[in-house]
Amino acid sequence: MSGLPVPWRADLTLEGLNSYAKGTMVENLGIVFTEIGPNFLRGTMPVDERSCQPMGVLHGGASVAFAETLASTASNATMDDAHRVLGQEINANHLRPVPKGERITGTTYLLHAGARSQVWSIEIHNDRGQLVCISRITMAVINRR
């Protein structure tokens, strides 16, 4: 997938994104932002006891949390100081299981950037490069209070 060029904030860095996630569910799940491109944000998450279901494979809810983290973070990294974004709707298709002990990589792409909403697509792959989940999220653009 390619997506639209992303209007990143000038002060955006991987260090800043990873530091901002300290003490949150993002850190608890082991999510790390790894790459910022002209049209994407990428990160990784381990498949371990924090993200597995009892059968020893990646929990679908953890995939969705990972997808929303990537897109929500990317979306907020496009906002000026007067606005922020909040997730409004997310969907996900889980395509294949990922066993405990692997790592997944997710990449989010901007599909639509409007005055009141943004739409992002998220692709999640396993260590072998296979697509394991595809997700789409709509973000509401709101004024900061």
CA angle 65, 70, 76 (to 5 degrees): 115
CA count, 13 A, side-chain hemisphere, 101 = 3
Q: What is the DSSP letter of 145?
A: -
> Where residue 7 falls among pLDDT bands split at 50, 70, 90?
very high
- Over residues 106-134, mean pLDDT: 97
> Where residue 2 falls among pLDDT bands split at 50, 70, 90?
confident
Going along the chain from its start, the domains and CATH numbers come out as 14-143 (3.10.129.10)
pLDDT surpasses 90 at 145: no
Among 68, 89, 102, 123, the one annotated catalytic: 68
Q: What is the DSSP letter of 57?
A: B
Q: Which amino acid is at 32?
A: V
Q: Strand order of the sheet with strand 83-94?
A: 32-37, 40-46, 103-113, 117-125, 131-143, 83-94
- Over residues 2-25, mean pLDDT: 95
CA count, 13 A, side-chain hemisphere, 126 = 16
Is-catalytic flag, 68? yes
Q: Long-range contacts for 10-14 (Cβ within 8 Å, ≥24 apart)? A: 12/36, 12/77
Residue recorded with tokens 């997944």 = 104
Q: Which residues pair with 35 in a beta bridge?
A: 42
- Over residues 5-11, mean pLDDT: 96
pLDDT in tens, 54-105: 999 999 999 999 999 999 999 999 999 999 999 999 999 999 999 999 999 9
CA angle 58, 59, 62 (to 5 degrees): 100
Rounded to whole angstroms, the Cα distance separating 7 from 110 reads 10
Q: Label residue 91 exposed, middle or buried (CB < 10 Å: 0-12, 13-18, 19+).
A: exposed
